[in-house]
Amino acid sequence: MTQTQPTITTNKLGRITAFLYGLVSYIIFFITFLYAIGFLGNILVPKSIDSPSQIPLTQALMINLALLTVFALQHSVMARQSFKNWWTKIIPQPIERSTYVLFSSLALILLFWQWQPMGGIVWNLQNSIGRIILLSLFGFGWLLVLISTFLINHFDLFGLRQVYLYLRGETYIPLKFSTPGLYKIVRHPLYVGWFFAFWMTPTMTIAHLVFAIVTTLYILIAIQLEERDLISIHGEDYETYRRQVPMIIPFLKNQQT
């Protein structure tokens, strides 16, 4: 989580500018989020993950892996406390989270823009009830992501709380560790939502499968990094939580790693 109190200029114009920056970053995130639903679900977007392929398979695979790597690196490096400590010597503390959100959106926009569909069907469910079930689970995944952000604190996760408090000249207090609702069932409900959103499709193409496999592996690694940070911040509280609540599969014991 973003830390400590404002350290930059306290003049009103600076605070308003920081707030507007945070607001614009949030709006860009929200549009990117909506576009991602269309991109993965092949709904209402000019180019989706499964559009017709235009270049040879190997070339497309290389480009797509590079795009996913850019996103994974941006997302993981910028989330680390050590990076934030260095980064906030360059940018003002109150806009650190908004900048993270903005860069994440830009990495995703690059991915949507340059993504190379790869053709090839891995599975294609014909049964209409089966298709409806998978599409519903796809929607459920996105809903789970959104609900989980609100359970933690949607506006803090996306940087708005930080710039709003700064605008009002109030001290930012980092969120306390909490386990509301779904967080009592699994430690990472938001990432479970991603798994549903990435894997639940009635028609799985090669490009979609590459996306789902790489993002799944990435999330499993990201969980290790995130939990390492959470333990260093919350210590025994998180250790205990980790022993008591499974990582991603409800009711499964021994999911500490």
Where on the chain is the footprint of ligand SAM (CB under 6 A)? Answer: 1, 148, 152, 157, 175, 177-179, 183, 188-191, 226, 230
Nearest residue (CB) to ligand SAM, 57 versus 147: 147
Nearest residue (CB) to ligand SAM, 168 versus 184: 184
Helical H segments across 115-205, by residue range: 128-152, 154-157, 160-167, 189-199
Nearest residue (CB) to ligand SAM, 66 versus 221: 221
Integer angstrom CA distances of residue 13 from 18, 143, 198: 9, 37, 42
Show the beta-strand stretches assigned E in 14-160: 121-124
Nearest residue (CB) to ligand SAM, 135 versus 245: 245
- DSSP state for residue 172 in the 8-state scheme: P
CA distance linking residue 158 with residue 101, whole number of Å: 6
Nearest residue (CB) to ligand SAM, 60 versus 157: 157
Nearest residue (CB) to ligand SAM, 204 versus 230: 230
| Min dist. Cβ of residue 175 to ligand SAM (A) | 5
Q: Which residues make beta-bridge pairs with 203? A: 124
**Considering only CA atoms, which of 25, 28, 26, 51 is closest in space to residue 38?**
51
Integer angstrom CA distances of residue 139 from 154, 194, 199: 19, 11, 11
CA distance linking residue 70 with residue 75, whole number of Å: 8
| Min dist. Cβ of residue 230 to ligand SAM (A) | 5
Both tokens of 162, joined, read 């930080």
| Min dist. Cβ of residue 157 to ligand SAM (A) | 6
For residue 65, give the amino acid letter.
L
Nearest residue (CB) to ligand SAM, 165 versus 219: 219
CB 174 within 8 A of CB 1: yes
Both tokens of 238, joined, read 């998180």
Integer angstrom CA distances of residue 186 from 128, 147, 165, 193: 31, 14, 31, 11
| Min dist. Cβ of residue 152 to ligand SAM (A) | 5
